[in-house]
Amino acid sequence: KQEVTQIPAALSVPEGENLVLNCSFTDSAIYNLQWFRQDPGKGLTSLLLIQSSQREQTSGRLNASLDKSSGRSTLYIAASQPGDSATYLCAVKPGNTPLVFGKGTRLSVIA
Amino acid sequence: DGGITQSPKYLFRKEGQNVTLSCEQNLNHDAMYWYRQDPGQGLRLIYYSQIVNDFQKGDIAEGYSVSREKKESFPLTVTSAQKNPTAFYLCASRRAGQGATEAFFGQGTRLTVV
Protein backbone atom coordinates (compact mmCIF):
# COMPACT_ATOMS: atom_id res chain seq x y z
CA LYS A 1 0.00 0.00 0.00
CA GLN A 2 1.31 3.43 -0.98
CA GLU A 3 2.41 5.60 1.94
CA VAL A 4 3.45 9.24 1.78
CA THR A 5 5.64 10.89 4.42
CA GLN A 6 6.40 14.56 4.81
CA ILE A 7 9.31 15.87 6.81
CA PRO A 8 9.45 18.06 8.82
CA ALA A 9 5.96 18.17 10.34
CA ALA A 10 6.47 21.83 11.20
CA LEU A 11 8.98 24.49 10.21
CA SER A 12 9.53 28.08 11.31
CA VAL A 13 11.83 30.38 9.35
CA PRO A 14 12.59 34.12 9.21
CA GLU A 15 11.30 36.08 6.25
CA GLY A 16 13.55 36.02 3.19
CA GLU A 17 14.98 32.55 3.71
CA ASN A 18 14.96 29.91 1.01
CA LEU A 19 13.52 26.63 2.25
CA VAL A 20 12.91 23.04 1.22
CA LEU A 21 9.99 20.81 2.12
CA ASN A 22 10.41 17.06 1.69
CA CYS A 23 8.00 14.35 0.56
CA SER A 24 8.75 10.64 0.22
CA PHE A 25 6.58 7.78 -1.05
CA THR A 26 6.99 4.04 -0.76
CA ASP A 27 5.91 2.84 -4.22
CA SER A 28 7.60 4.46 -7.21
CA ALA A 29 4.82 3.35 -9.60
CA ILE A 30 3.00 6.70 -9.65
CA TYR A 31 1.38 8.67 -12.46
CA ASN A 32 1.92 12.09 -10.96
CA LEU A 33 2.66 14.01 -7.79
CA GLN A 34 0.86 17.14 -6.70
CA TRP A 35 1.76 19.79 -4.11
CA PHE A 36 -1.02 21.67 -2.35
CA ARG A 37 -1.28 24.57 0.06
CA GLN A 38 -3.90 24.71 2.82
CA ASP A 39 -4.67 27.78 4.92
CA PRO A 40 -6.33 27.24 8.32
CA GLY A 41 -9.97 26.24 7.98
CA LYS A 42 -9.82 26.30 4.19
CA GLY A 43 -9.72 23.83 1.33
CA LEU A 44 -6.63 22.80 -0.62
CA THR A 45 -5.13 24.96 -3.36
CA SER A 46 -3.10 23.20 -6.04
CA LEU A 47 0.41 24.60 -6.37
CA LEU A 48 2.27 22.31 -8.76
CA LEU A 49 1.62 19.06 -10.62
CA ILE A 50 4.56 16.93 -11.76
CA GLN A 51 4.00 14.15 -14.25
CA SER A 52 5.86 10.90 -13.62
CA SER A 53 8.03 11.57 -16.70
CA GLN A 54 9.08 15.02 -15.48
CA ARG A 55 11.91 15.97 -13.13
CA GLU A 56 10.65 19.36 -11.99
CA GLN A 57 8.03 22.08 -12.32
CA THR A 58 8.27 25.77 -11.51
CA SER A 59 5.70 28.43 -10.67
CA GLY A 60 6.97 31.81 -9.54
CA ARG A 61 9.01 31.35 -6.37
CA LEU A 62 8.08 27.67 -6.13
CA ASN A 63 10.02 24.79 -7.63
CA ALA A 64 9.07 21.16 -7.19
CA SER A 65 11.33 18.27 -8.10
CA LEU A 66 10.57 14.59 -8.51
CA ASP A 67 12.92 11.61 -8.27
CA LYS A 68 10.55 8.73 -8.92
CA SER A 69 13.13 5.98 -8.64
CA SER A 70 14.07 7.00 -5.12
CA GLY A 71 10.51 7.90 -4.13
CA ARG A 72 11.22 11.53 -3.29
CA SER A 73 9.97 15.01 -4.10
CA THR A 74 11.00 18.39 -2.77
CA LEU A 75 9.22 21.73 -2.79
CA TYR A 76 11.62 24.66 -2.84
CA ILE A 77 10.31 28.07 -1.80
CA ALA A 78 12.58 31.01 -2.61
CA ALA A 79 12.70 34.24 -0.63
CA SER A 80 9.96 33.20 1.79
CA GLN A 81 7.31 35.74 2.86
CA PRO A 82 4.86 35.81 5.79
CA GLY A 83 2.07 35.16 3.28
CA ASP A 84 3.65 31.77 2.56
CA SER A 85 2.66 30.61 6.06
CA ALA A 86 0.34 27.64 5.59
CA THR A 87 0.32 23.84 5.59
CA TYR A 88 1.85 22.26 2.50
CA LEU A 89 0.62 18.82 1.44
CA CYS A 90 2.11 16.37 -0.99
CA ALA A 91 -0.03 13.76 -2.77
CA VAL A 92 0.77 10.99 -5.23
CA LYS A 93 -1.51 9.34 -7.79
CA PRO A 94 -0.81 5.59 -7.81
CA GLY A 95 -2.42 4.63 -11.11
CA ASN A 96 -6.17 4.56 -11.60
CA THR A 97 -6.85 5.11 -7.91
CA PRO A 98 -7.32 8.29 -5.90
CA LEU A 99 -4.60 10.54 -4.56
CA VAL A 100 -2.73 9.42 -1.44
CA PHE A 101 -1.74 12.27 0.85
CA GLY A 102 1.03 12.95 3.32
CA LYS A 103 0.17 14.60 6.64
CA GLY A 104 1.66 17.91 5.58
CA THR A 105 4.31 20.37 6.73
CA ARG A 106 3.08 23.38 8.71
CA LEU A 107 5.19 26.38 7.68
CA SER A 108 5.48 29.63 9.61
CA VAL A 109 7.41 32.53 8.06
CA ILE A 110 8.26 35.14 10.69
CA ALA A 111 8.46 38.81 9.67
CA ASP B 1 -16.02 30.96 -12.60
CA GLY B 2 -15.35 27.25 -12.70
CA GLY B 3 -14.86 25.48 -9.43
CA ILE B 4 -16.11 23.23 -6.67
CA THR B 5 -18.71 24.43 -4.19
CA GLN B 6 -19.25 22.75 -0.86
CA SER B 7 -22.14 23.64 1.40
CA PRO B 8 -22.75 24.38 4.12
CA LYS B 9 -19.46 25.71 5.47
CA TYR B 10 -20.41 24.73 9.03
CA LEU B 11 -22.83 21.97 10.04
CA PHE B 12 -23.98 20.76 13.43
CA ARG B 13 -25.37 17.29 13.99
CA LYS B 14 -27.25 15.90 16.93
CA GLU B 15 -26.62 12.38 18.14
CA GLY B 16 -28.48 9.82 16.01
CA GLN B 17 -29.14 12.23 13.16
CA ASN B 18 -28.22 11.82 9.50
CA VAL B 19 -26.81 14.86 7.71
CA THR B 20 -25.93 15.47 4.06
CA LEU B 21 -23.00 17.51 2.80
CA SER B 22 -23.29 19.01 -0.64
CA CYS B 23 -20.57 19.08 -3.32
CA GLU B 24 -21.18 20.60 -6.75
CA GLN B 25 -18.67 21.21 -9.55
CA ASN B 26 -18.94 23.00 -12.88
CA LEU B 27 -15.56 21.87 -14.22
CA ASN B 28 -17.06 19.04 -16.29
CA HIS B 29 -14.91 16.59 -14.33
CA ASP B 30 -15.80 12.92 -14.37
CA ALA B 31 -14.17 11.91 -11.08
CA MET B 32 -15.19 13.20 -7.66
CA TYR B 33 -13.88 12.39 -4.20
CA TRP B 34 -14.70 12.84 -0.53
CA TYR B 35 -11.94 13.10 2.06
CA ARG B 36 -12.05 13.52 5.81
CA GLN B 37 -9.40 15.57 7.60
CA ASP B 38 -8.66 15.25 11.31
CA PRO B 39 -5.88 17.07 13.18
CA GLY B 40 -2.58 15.24 12.83
CA GLN B 41 -4.03 12.55 10.52
CA GLY B 42 -3.90 14.09 7.08
CA LEU B 43 -6.60 13.42 4.49
CA ARG B 44 -8.35 10.06 4.46
CA LEU B 45 -10.47 8.87 1.54
CA ILE B 46 -14.15 8.15 2.27
CA TYR B 47 -15.72 7.49 -1.16
CA TYR B 48 -14.98 8.27 -4.77
CA SER B 49 -16.79 8.15 -8.08
CA GLN B 50 -15.22 8.00 -11.53
CA ILE B 51 -18.45 8.07 -13.51
CA VAL B 52 -22.13 8.85 -13.01
CA ASN B 53 -24.12 6.16 -11.20
CA ASP B 54 -20.98 4.43 -9.96
CA PHE B 55 -18.89 4.89 -6.82
CA GLN B 56 -16.35 3.00 -4.73
CA LYS B 57 -15.54 2.84 -1.03
CA GLY B 58 -12.38 4.43 0.21
CA ASP B 59 -10.38 3.64 3.33
CA ILE B 60 -12.95 4.84 5.87
CA ALA B 61 -16.39 4.36 4.23
CA GLU B 62 -18.18 2.89 7.27
CA GLY B 63 -20.95 5.16 8.49
CA TYR B 64 -21.07 7.19 5.26
CA SER B 65 -23.08 6.95 2.04
CA VAL B 66 -22.93 8.73 -1.30
CA SER B 67 -24.83 9.02 -4.58
CA ARG B 68 -23.77 10.15 -8.04
CA GLU B 69 -26.94 10.77 -10.04
CA LYS B 70 -25.51 13.74 -11.91
CA LYS B 71 -22.01 14.47 -13.18
CA GLU B 72 -21.95 17.78 -11.33
CA SER B 73 -23.02 16.55 -7.92
CA PHE B 74 -21.62 14.09 -5.35
CA PRO B 75 -23.41 14.49 -1.98
CA LEU B 76 -22.11 12.76 1.13
CA THR B 77 -24.45 11.56 3.89
CA VAL B 78 -23.03 11.08 7.35
CA THR B 79 -25.27 8.51 9.00
CA SER B 80 -25.94 7.81 12.66
CA ALA B 81 -23.70 4.75 12.27
CA GLN B 82 -20.66 7.04 12.06
CA LYS B 83 -19.65 7.22 15.73
CA ASN B 84 -17.11 10.01 15.49
CA PRO B 85 -18.23 12.34 12.69
CA THR B 86 -16.73 15.58 13.98
CA ALA B 87 -14.16 16.51 11.31
CA PHE B 88 -13.41 18.72 8.32
CA TYR B 89 -14.78 17.23 5.09
CA LEU B 90 -13.26 18.01 1.71
CA CYS B 91 -14.62 17.31 -1.75
CA ALA B 92 -12.39 17.14 -4.83
CA SER B 93 -12.70 16.51 -8.55
CA ARG B 94 -10.48 15.85 -11.55
CA ARG B 95 -10.75 14.83 -15.17
CA ALA B 96 -10.92 11.08 -15.61
CA GLY B 97 -7.97 9.08 -16.88
CA GLN B 98 -4.61 8.02 -15.60
CA GLY B 99 -2.69 10.94 -16.98
CA ALA B 100 -1.39 14.03 -15.32
CA THR B 101 -4.60 15.84 -14.49
CA GLU B 102 -4.85 18.14 -11.54
CA ALA B 103 -7.19 17.56 -8.64
CA PHE B 104 -9.16 20.56 -7.40
CA PHE B 105 -10.74 20.95 -3.98
CA GLY B 106 -13.69 22.75 -2.49
CA GLN B 107 -13.47 24.96 0.59
CA GLY B 108 -14.63 22.26 2.96
CA THR B 109 -17.46 21.65 5.43
CA ARG B 110 -16.74 21.53 9.16
CA LEU B 111 -19.11 19.09 10.85
CA THR B 112 -19.56 19.14 14.62
CA VAL B 113 -21.62 16.80 16.78
CA VAL B 114 -23.55 18.62 19.49
Q: Do B98 and A49 touch (CB under 8 A)?
A: no
Any A CB within 8 A of B32 CB: no
Reading chain A (111 residues) residue by residue, the pLDDT tens digits are: 899 999 999 999 999 999 999 999 999 999 899 999 999 999 999 999 999 999 999 999 999 999 999 999 999 999 999 999 999 999 999 877 899 999 999 999 999
Return d(Cα B70, Cα B60) in angstroms, integer.
24
In chain A, which residues have their Cβ closer than 8 Å to the Cβ of B98? 31, 93, 95-96
pLDDT reported for residue B83: 87
pLDDT tens-digit readout, B33-92: 999 999 878 899 999 999 999 999 999 999 999 999 999 999 999 999 888 999 999 999
Q: Is A93 helix (H, G, I), strand (E, B) or coil?
A: strand
Across the interface, of A44, A49, A102, the residue whose CB is closest to B90 is: A44
On chain A, the residues whose CB falls within 8 A of the CB of B106 are 43
Which residue, among B57, B58, B92, B30, has the nearest Cα to A89 in the 3D structure? B92
Closest residue to B42, CB basis, from A50, A95, A103: A103
Cα A17 from Cα A19, distance rounded (Å): 6
pLDDT for res B99: 61
pLDDT at res. B114: 86
pLDDT of A1 reads 87
CA distances from A5 to A78, B54, B82, B111 (A): 22, 31, 28, 27
Given CB atoms, is A40 within the 8 Å cutoff of chain B? no
Task: Say if the Cβ atoms of A32 and B45 lie within 8 Å.
Answer: no
Q: Does B30 touch chain A (CB under 8 A)?
A: no
- Between residues 69 and 98 of chain A, which touch chain B (CB distance below 8 Å)? 89, 91, 93, 95-96, 98
Residue A82: phi and psi, rounded to 5, are -55, -30
